[in-house]
Amino acid sequence: MSHTSRAALAATALAALLAASPARAQQVATPTETKAVDEKAFKVDEAGTYANADLSYVLTSGNSTANSLGFKGDVTHRWAKHSIGFAAGGLRASSSPDLRYAVGTPGDFEIVIPEAETTAEYYYGRGRYDYKLSDRLYLTAGAGWEQNRFSGLDDRWLVDTGLGYIFVNNDRTSFRGAAGITYTDEQYTVEDGRDGSFLGARLGWDFQQKLFSNTTFTHTLLADENLEDTDDLRLDANFGLHVAMSSKLGLKVNWRLLWDNQPALAEYPLLPPGPGGSYNGETVLAPYKELDQGFSVSLVFSFAPPKKG
């Protein structure tokens, strides 16, 4: 082959290579671009059973005794148009009082540390039914019960119904909200003359944002307004960070805020001013604090149907 033929062949090969390079680059880039679009595309909730269970426990002993047990769980089954779910949970904490004393004589005595007393206790249970009107819009109805005696609430029963809307639902972000009307029936540990049964309005949302491949930020909010007394407003907000250790096991930290603009009343013993006074059995009523908050670290066990595709 002559030098001229070799040069022509090389030029032809180089031109073919340059012509193929953009096409090849486009072929390589296409899957990446498709994946990015899929991550942001709206996705309909898949049918199946979804379940979560959180468990936390803290125990200290020795010079003082304290323990705390927290648990919550939920299970939801989704069909093409319908979904039904149940959730329950609670928290119980106790600690030994600061007061310690000795029993015996100066030369022979025993230190007594009082047994732990309950310092916090909260339980709840609820159910919910949703019906899809479209891929985004749905009807919702629910009923629930809760008890928080350390905030003056002996029982609270609540039923609600309303409309929900899914604003965003993809591989990285989920945001949905709902608004509706409620009927509440409350009983307090100390009766204060207030009517515990009333119609109300509710606004709430649920937000999830995937920060990393195994880390998700979560936030929920429920706002309940008494329509018969608009000063009676309650907020329940949760902020959480979930780190998945496997497909079914994770670790979650959560900060919960409970705010009540009209807290229940507590009964306190009234002691006379000054030293040497004796308690005569008289009591006074005063409201609990408006804000309760709690921080928890828990193990999370999750179950969900396998993703399609």
Q: Which pLDDT value is given to residue 41?
A: 86
pLDDT the model gives residue 252: 97
pLDDT of residue 204: 98
Structural domains for the chain: 52-303 (2.40.160.40)
Q: What percent of the chain has pLDDT over 70?
A: 86
pLDDT, position 153: 95
Residue 152 has pLDDT above 70, yes or no: yes
Percent of the chain with pLDDT over 90: 67
User: Residue type for 269, please?
Assistant: P
* Cβ(300)–Cβ(250) below 8 Å: yes
Whether the pLDDT of residue 74 is over 50: the answer is yes
pLDDT digits (tens, 9 = 90+) for 235-245: 999 999 999 99
| Cβ(97)–Cβ(114) below 8 Å | yes
Sequence-separated (6 or more) residues with CB below 8 Å from residue 213:
none
Which token pair is 82?
A: 């319908």
The mean of the pLDDT values for the chain is 86
Confidence grade of residue 273 (pLDDT, cut at 50, 70, 90): confident
* pLDDT at residue 101 in the model: 82
Give the model's confidence band at 279: pLDDT under 50 very low, under 70 low, under 90 confident, else very high: confident
**100: phi then psi, degrees, rounded to nearest 5:** -125, 155
The Cα–Cα gap between 208 and 165 comes to: 15
238: Cα within 13 Å, side-chain hemisphere = 17
Q: What is the CA radius of gyration of the chain?
A: 30
pLDDT in tens, 8-59: 444 444 344 334 444 433 444 444 444 444 667 888 889 999 999 999 988 8
pLDDT at 277: 67
* Residue 13: per-residue pLDDT: 44
Tokens of residue 76, six digits: 């939801």
Contact call for residues 233 and 222 (beta carbons, < 8 A): no
Cα end-to-end distance, the chain, whole Å: 54
Query: What value does the mean pLDDT take over residues 173-187?
Result: 97
Average pLDDT over residues 240-255: 96
Selected residue with higher pLDDT from 104 and 7: 104
Q: Name the more confident of 116 and 226.
A: 226
Q: How much is the average pLDDT of 78-95? A: 96
